[in-house]
Amino acid sequence: MSSVPLTWSASCSIGADLVAGGHTLNIKQGPGPRDGRHPSRIRAGQLFFPLVGTQRLRLTVKRLDGEWALVEREDGSKGRVSIDRLLASDGEGNGVDYRFHGWRRLPRGYRTELEVLSISEETGRCAIVLPEWDSAAEVELLAHSLPEALRGQGALGSCRADLTAASAAGLQLHDFSTAKPKGLSRAANGPHPELLAPGQEFRRRGDAKKFRLLDVDPEAAMVPAWSGRRVVRLQATRLLARRSDGEGLHYLYLGGGRTATRHRRAVRRG
């Protein structure tokens, strides 16, 4: 199927750190993604560069396996990385453990989500946005290219697109549908855990005391924790309680317990 003719407009400006095609340039790591923000979900085909550790090689996500992403590094070696680590980002949308590095090119592109921003009956054109490609860029195309069910402001659907494209002219949009993309991971967890697991560390807001959780029984109302001097028992509901901003209400989550948390989350979902 032939690609749809379109034009492009973006609300972001092109800075001095961009090279031809709109990609950021890092001599060691190569060109970056069209949208520099860290992805909200992990899927096969994404490229990442590790910011910590000894194996500083760019890797490609091959497929998802529960709470893990099976990856292949530039040297051909294979491994797995937790979804938590790949999704971890700071308040400004930058990766903490891994830098998002774009997409592996696919012959027919990726099925990706689209949102219809506006439709003009006078011109017969519409504006859409592809969040995985560039959430700040509006892509214009002929309205009759979309299925009738998508010809309305705010409509959500999907299409196939070349997410490696540097500009809208290279997106090669086709195969529009009301179906949602498949093969995406869960979204990143918030700043406070949704379940308790051994190794997690918390600081109580009332007196700033720090606790590390020990053997956690998911069915128990009280959780044993090490206070630095002795073992104490804390109320599970108070540990998990959140404020409206996602932070802990009574306890500030300090980190830790990632492996145990992934295991418990997988068991709960399985």
User: Which domains occur in the chain, in start order?
Assistant: 6-10+108-177 (no CATH), 25-103 (2.30.30), 201-269 (no CATH)
Is the pLDDT score of 15 beyond 70? no
Is the pLDDT score of 135 beyond 70? yes
Q: What are phi and psi of 107, to 5 degrees?
A: -55, -40
pLDDT at residue 182, as a whole number: 94
Tokens of 145: 């290219």
Is the pLDDT score of 143 beyond 60? yes
pLDDT in tens, 75-110: 999 999 989 889 988 877 889 899 999 999 999 999
Q: Are 155 and 9 in contact (CB under 8 A)?
A: no
When the pLDDT of each residue in the chain is averaged and rounded to a whole number, the result is 86
Percent of all residues in the chain with a pLDDT value above 70, rounded to a whole number = 87
pLDDT at residue 3, as a whole number: 58
pLDDT in tens, 169-199: 999 999 999 999 999 998 888 888 889 999 9
Q: Are 127 and 139 in contact (CB under 8 A)?
A: yes
Q: Which amino acid is at 240?
A: L
| 208 vs 12, higher pLDDT | 208
Q: Are 98 and 79 in contact (CB under 8 A)?
A: no
pLDDT at residue 57, as a whole number: 94
pLDDT at residue 208, as a whole number: 94
Is the pLDDT score of 14 beyond 60? no
Q: What is the mean pLDDT of residues 233-239?
A: 97
| 238 vs 19, higher pLDDT | 238
pLDDT at residue 188, as a whole number: 85
Percent of all residues in the chain with a pLDDT value above 90, rounded to a whole number = 66
Radius of gyration of the chain (CA): 22
Tokens 């989550």 belong to residue: 253
Q: Are strands 222-226 and 210-213 parallel, antiparallel or unpaired?
A: antiparallel
| 18 vs 83, higher pLDDT | 83
pLDDT at residue 90, as a whole number: 80
Is the pLDDT score of 5 beyond 80? no
